[in-house]
Structure 1
């Protein structure tokens, strides 16, 4: 009887170990992709902020994109892209930290590989926020501060996805004011 149970246990451990390796590989790939995407999206948004300031309020600045078809990206579209990229960065950080916390000492190699990656992702967002003077958002002399706020908002949303969803559920499930 013990002969039939023992091979099953070994197979279960092997599957778990292979799942951990797969998760580590996915997290590393996502981090390596997310950071350049955030950098590119932030650069695009900064470019379009400057272009919009140059053309004035009665025209819309845009930049051509060629993927997979040709189309124009406006400033507002670039802000959606940078917000999505920052949200992806925050999510990669959160899922990597959760994985490392739940596997604990059983998978230290993964933690040592992923920790610098998620730190780099988080630091990139923090540097953007600090460099643009997040405290002086009301100051009209810094137009890129608005982009930085969006990046930070996206990253924080990615970091706290569950909490953000719960908050939005509470907001949207409230009855209108004055309703019985």
Structure 2
């Protein structure tokens, strides 16, 4: 069984977090892997709509700056809400003319099989808190019903998902949902 994570296509409109003095960076909120909506402060964003040569980029349904979170507009939020609502929360972002949302996955599964995974630096002792893996293997029994999830280890911030999640998203005919294989589950 393959496990996937988001990937970033080239030449599309991107969301950029605007640095605001004295504001906590988005990662401090979102990399903690627990619900944050109650204390959430809308983070300011802007659209990066042009490439380095000034050419207008294509706008897609899934915007994003990394492989860690789905970033979408209100239209897409309404469409995907029924399939993701049990796995996380939508956090509003601040933009001067549109509403954007980041999906914070709170479905945490301790899925990495360290015995079968390959370490990037095999000469070092494996650190289960913060493993540095070149090839991740996950427990199939833990992820087969995971749909969309994250793992609890400190330096793994990606959002992972199964083929069933991909199938549900593809049925919606949305543009810009790209992914790549991230792990094997056995």
TM-score range, shorter chain: under 0.3
Q: TM-score, normalised by structure 2?
A: 0.23
Q: TM-score, normalised by structure 1?
A: 0.23
Structure holding more strand per residue: 2
Structure holding more helix per residue: 1
| Higher relative contact order structure (alpha carbons within 8 Å, sequence separation ≥ 6) | 2
